[in-house]
Structure 1
Amino acid sequence: MHNDDHNEGQHAVTRRHVVSGSLGLTAALAAGAVGATGTAPAGKRPVPVAGTFLWGTASSAHQIEGNNVNSDFWLAETVKPTLFREPSGDACDSYHRYEEDAALAAGLGFNAHRFGIEWARIEPEPGRFSEAELDHYVRVLESCHKHGLAPMVTLSHWTVPRWFAARGGFENAESPAQFERFAKKVAERLGPLMSAATTFNECNIGRLAQFLFHLDTPEAKAGVKAMLDACAKASGSDRFANVLLGDLAKSEANMVEAHRRAVAALKAGPGDFPVGLTISMQAIEGVGDSNKASAVADLLYGPWLDAAKVCDFVGVQTYTRIRVGTEGPLPPPDGAEKTGAGYEFYPQAVGNTVRFAAERIGKPIYVTENGIATDDDTRRVAYIDGALNALQKAKADGIDIRGYFHWSLLDNFEWTAGYSQKFGLVAVDRKTFVRTPKPSARHLGGIAKQRRSL
């Protein structure tokens, strides 16, 4: 491990519950994945060149890699009491099976791959970086290039190192400098292989969770406090903060500053790739006169729409809509179909959110997550078709959409819901880890193969 700790003093629920320029060419050339003519070396598939629409799937490190023992979520899953239905355990064993997953995605027809790197693995103790783990992620990126997948890398997909959470997480005033230090190390080792990067996944998830799931009620506060107190005790600390369940009044300004510093660190290179931010954007639809849709939008996004303006692109992550009346959010209409995650089946929502992002942020757009939890794969196919139809209409109207990443390639660990929700295009046997593509995988992959754009 490499120790940078001497610098530190100087800077002293579930996901669904709760560029200028396209990607690929510069990073591929830097990595040696394609030659100057755009032809791939023997045995390699060319990474998509500039101007190519990106078709891919999205994932997060903690949800697929397995045994992420140094992370805050691993501890929260295993203490008592816990809000988690079950621990993540081996997840999909993608830490060892990343080559298989890249080959699977490419074989289905995708040309891009969005995934996370795990801060808790790379910096398991403050200022001590694991060269072995950095080498591991180099191999993951090289595998993407080998299979012709433009890699879009997420620095933090909700999880943080256990030591970071035990110091107060992003509630700690030192957190922006600590995240910046991590971003610099990532750029130094992985930058030349990256086609794009994002700082935070769903940076506004804490706002969404509080709004939709009433985390300010006495019962919710008691449950969260009991779990985080147990985590603090297990860490030998008097505090333990979590991105999903933390105190926004203490953490959000630090997260915005951490994002700003990380963007600058990534842009400083090495490597030459666009940097973005992904935001949870559910379609907010006002119902009736004097509805509160505008106020709800302000509440859900806070400072993050402005924070995204320092980026090269914005990642829009949409699953459903939120109907808002004169008193606040409304339930789905009577008889509305519900997904396995309990929200309304409403694939056309993504057409509204990309328009909103274009208007409010003014940057190129990648749909970095979109999908459905269901045990009925025919409904996943219907959802995909409805979402792509809405995106086609938005693109025809001039919205600058550069790519579509479906959530998710694999059925994976879905936070407090455990393995009960199936978002994957590919089923994963929980004991053997055998991957079995569903009809929806071949459906979306076939679309990706046939289309250069939406």
Structure 2
Amino acid sequence: MHYGRWVLGLLTAVLFTGCITPPTPPRIKRNNLGAKPETGPFWWGISSSAFQTEDRGEKPGSPNYFKTDWDLFAEAGRVPPKGDDATFSWSQFDKDLEALKKIGVNHYRFGVEWARIEPHPGQYNEAALRRYVDFARRLKAAGIEPVVTLWHFTFPDWMVVKGKPGRSRWLSPYYRERWPLFVDKVTRAMSPYVRTYVPQNEPNGDLALGYISSVWPPGMFLDFNMHARALTQSTWGFREAAKIIKQNRKDALVMAVVALPYWIRTFWDPTSAYYNFMQRINFAHLDRTYDVCDLIGFNYYYTEYADFTALLALKARRGRNYSLLGWVIQPHSLYKQINIVAKRYGKPIVITENGIATSRDIKRVRYLFNHMLEVKEAMADGADVRGYFVWTLVDNYEWHHGYKAPFGMSRMDPVTKRRLLRPSALFYKGIISTSEESSLLDEVSSQPELPQGFIER
């Protein structure tokens, strides 16, 4: 990550100006929120994404060969390449399903790759769409409810104009034309098996990293004007998708998924400008879309200090209170964030991603256990939390970190492609399988029960 540029830019833009105010909560009329949806027993889940796990499955020259904006960004040397294989979740979905059944989750969130389904504008790969539908059908048959993400950071390469970020991705002329048609096509096909959809995964994170910090596509640095334009397009796309989803299945559930790290004010941000800026990043998208959502999902991984010194220290952080990426582990912040979201939006909540990059699985077990305790505590205090999803099933491509951030509760055998479950997966299985009243997380007790023969690795 380009921390030097990020630090200098934010110092100039926000640190001493004092002109950035905190995001104003939306004016919610509690009596107009409507009935809360019935979602059944507590959702114990795992989340994944298409780009991070799927092999391409098409050869160059094939009419269905496709690339994404992330492929182009990697070819330009801006991020590590994913390659054509990843964890083979396209051709070897049965390996994922086998592992999910062993763990015992009742929900699985996976994504569909827009570029795979529509490799060229208006040209659909019907076989690919049928395969995604079959994934959902097989999950359903196994007693696992599919939750489908329609967009998870990647756009088809035909939505990128080289050298013109103002006409690419969210800002592509194709976006308003093709996005509603894509959503309609996918949700019509999925409707027999899928009730819950996520229109966009972490759009707030994508917008910040792509238009402010330059780390992600399209690689813009502190372009606040383009960020604002892309935010407008993104929120339009979310609301349009929500409308189409409801048209294609009357009992469908629309779930937001945003990134919500917990930010802490510090001495080095005397005007709170930095803190307020990061809170705007957290909530600006959701404030504009919550009203078309049945569920508010958010991804929580870490707590961070709202000042430039934290960014400078990130790579140097080591020890039990940090992940491999230098992210601060502070489980109680999840409790705080749940209550902030509950108060701000008044809707049921799902923790849609929670996990840690670590090479020591005992650390993963402790991380998951301690965060589950905070979910349990929030529920005991009245928060309406409907589910908890771990990120993720298997070590995969982690965006600008490449393959150097192991988040998986399993690793892939390079020969058989089987998912070799780690003790953390067995721990999670134990939590799920022994929970008689899972909606109350009764089995998340005072100490994690490690699998027999557990070896710290």
Shorter-chain TM range is: 0.7 to 0.9
**In structure 2, C-alpha distance between the alignment counterparts of 1:87 and 1:198, rounded to whole Å:** 24
Q: Secondary structure at the match of 2:56?
A: coil
Q: Secondary structure at the match of 2:203?
A: coil
The answer to whether 1:203 aligns with 2:203 is yes
Match of 1:131 in 2: 126
Match of 2:141 in 1: 146
Match of 2:19 in 1: none
Match of 1:297 in 2: 279
Q: Give the AA of the match of 1:75.
A: D
How many Å apart are 1:337 and its aligned residue? 2.5
Match of 2:105 in 1: 110
How many Å apart are 1:380 and its aligned residue? 0.1
Comparing 309-318 with 401-410, which one deviates more in the overlay?
309-318
**Of 318, 321, 330, the match for 1:346:** 330
The answer to whether 1:86 aligns with 2:89 is no
Q: Give the AA of the match of 2:80.
A: R
Deviations 1:1-59 (A, max 9, x none): xxxxxxxxxxxx69xxx993244xxxxxxxxxxxxxxxxxxxxxxxxxxx210101000
Match of 1:418 in 2: 402
**In structure 2, C-alpha distance between the alignment counterparts of 1:58 and 1:329, rounded to whole Å:** 27
Deviations 1:69-93 (A, max 9, x none): 62324532652x3122233320110
- The 1:245/1:317 distance shift into structure 2, 3 A limit, reads farther
Match of 1:260 in 2: 239
**Of 29, 36, 43, the match for 1:20:** 36
How many Å apart are 1:118 and its aligned residue? 0.9
- Consecutive unaligned residues of structure 1, counting only runs of 5 or more, are 1-12, 24-50, 229-240
Match of 1:406 in 2: 390
**In structure 2, C-alpha distance between the alignment counterparts of 1:322 and 1:154, rounded to whole Å:** 27
**In structure 2, C-alpha distance between the alignment counterparts of 1:176 and 1:351, rounded to whole Å:** 38
Aligned pair count reads: 389
Match of 1:367 in 2: 351
How many Å apart are 1:404 and its aligned residue? 0.5
**In structure 1, C-alpha distance between the alignment counterparts of 2:153 and 2:236, rounded to whole Å:** 16
Contact between 1:172 and 1:251, CA under 8 Å: does it hold in 2?
Answer: no
Contact between 1:407 and 1:423, CA under 8 Å: does it hold in 2?
Answer: yes
**Of 229, 232, 248, the match for 2:227:** 248
Match of 1:119 in 2: 114
Q: Give the AA of the match of 2:36.
A: S
Match of 1:377 in 2: 361
Q: Give the AA of the match of 2:121.
A: P
Match of 1:10 in 2: none
Q: Secondary structure at the match of 1:94?
A: coil
Match of 1:215 in 2: 213
Match of 1:309 in 2: 291
Match of 2:155 in 1: 160
Q: Secondary structure at the match of 2:160?
A: helix
Q: Secondary structure at the match of 2:339?
A: helix
**In structure 2, C-alpha distance between the alignment counterparts of 1:260 and 1:412, rounded to whole Å:** 30
How many Å apart are 1:392 and its aligned residue? 0.7
**In structure 2, C-alpha distance between the alignment counterparts of 1:299 and 1:136, rounded to whole Å:** 36
Q: Give the TM-score of the pair, scaled to structure 2.
A: 0.77
Deviations 1:148-195 (A, max 9, x none): 101110000001111123462211355134211111111211122103
How many Å apart are 1:305 and its aligned residue? 2.3
**In structure 1, C-alpha distance between the alignment counterparts of 2:114 and 2:259, rounded to whole Å:** 21
**In structure 2, C-alpha distance between the alignment counterparts of 1:413 and 1:335, rounded to whole Å:** 24
Q: Give the TM-score of the pair, scaled to structure 1.
A: 0.78
Contact between 1:74 and 1:88, CA under 8 Å: does it hold in 2?
Answer: no
**Of 57, 70, 74, the match for 2:46:** 57
- The 1:155/1:431 distance shift into structure 2, 3 A limit, reads same
Deviations 1:284-314 (A, max 9, x none): 2234686453443124432432312211111
Contact between 2:87 and 2:417, CA under 8 Å: does it hold in 1?
Answer: yes
**In structure 2, C-alpha distance between the alignment counterparts of 1:95 and 1:245, rounded to whole Å:** 37
- The 1:297/1:88 distance shift into structure 2, 3 A limit, reads same
Q: Give the AA of the match of 1:95.
A: W
Contact between 1:20 and 1:364, CA under 8 Å: does it hold in 2?
Answer: yes
- Consecutive unaligned residues of structure 2, counting only runs of 5 or more, are 7-34, 58-64, 162-166, 442-457
